[in-house]
Amino acid sequence: MSQSARPKKFSPWLALWNIWEQWLSRYEVSAVQACLAFPLSVREIDRVVVGVDSVSHLEQIISAAVGATAVTDFPSLQCEEENLINPSRWSQL
């Protein structure tokens, strides 16, 4: 999701978003590819469960998964702020 499309309520974490967007650009991968690549890069993980809301969304995820394992050198995006990492709190922002 581009910065212009991201809801303003997530702006307190702009520094993290900037790191994320720069990394995506540097490695020329989509956010979907990157999000799949991380768990798929862990040898102990055999499967990844995803949610979809349409056939086209599922097709996008499947397509991204094919090239996902080529991504390496993940950025450090550690965050312990519950309001960001817990989606159930997003409506309260």
pLDDT tens, residue by residue, 34-69? 888 888 888 899 888 999 999 999 998 988 887 666
- Read out DSSP for 27-62? HT--HHHHHHHHHHTSTT--------SSHHHHHHHH
Q: How confident is the model at residue 25 (pLDDT cuts 50, 70, 90)?
A: very high
Name the nearest CA neighbour of 40 among 75, 79, 71: 71
CB neighbours of residue 29 within 10 Å: 19
All structural domains of the chain with their residue ranges? 8-71
Residue type at 80 in one-letter notation: E
pLDDT at 52: 92
pLDDT tops 70 at residue 70: no
